[in-house]
Structure 1
């Protein structure tokens, strides 16, 4: 049975895999994840690379109506895969693997792991959305939000 921290780490791993797929960081990140699972076994690492590529492909071909459902399914699948892998390890090896996974995920986010797929934007800091001249602005938020007082329009703008 995994600790709560390891289960949370597995969930973060699943999310990171899905968020990285199809972005600029994907190639390096997928190699690191496969290496983590492979643990020095080239055959297992190769199998994980294939599994990671299948995930990227599933996310890429999902239509707009299916994208969110596919993303959630892939995240859950990877979370379960990380959990199953950690559970198979002996206690000492499990602790080491969890520490390595945590380091891998921290490295991923510190190296610009915040990313978006084609047609999207992502930021690891503040984002200001502004609509001008009757345009509409929309955004998807993953995390907290602060709403400030909007500036008053110039009287000449109507």
Structure 2
């Protein structure tokens, strides 16, 4: 036989258990949603990792190919043309001339000015192996490029006329 106080306590315990069960179910649903979001983020991270891994492998392959080309060029210069060493100023100037020849032109005035300094330094070097006419042509191209950059900058900052 149950006393009325026991029945009330039993009802309170049952209500508390029911409330705790509902709260637990609600928390379980929230955790399932969070777990779903974390799984989706993990899938994104794994996909990014795979893309980065493939890009890294492609870059490593390209670097190996470029090293092979570099070794072949060095071998050709040394064994076919007798060039055992090359001054840094000539290397830098040849790089600038290559960019100009292949229309890989900068839009940055500081870079263009450094190109001009590189070519001028090579032109002033009496021991350079680069043809003076080629250096002169490169210097003129870079000067024209600098003037063009200055004109474009002036036009941009000038703004519309009133």
The TM-score with structure 2 as length reference comes to 0.22
The TM-score with structure 1 as length reference comes to 0.22
The answer to which structure has the higher helix fraction is 2
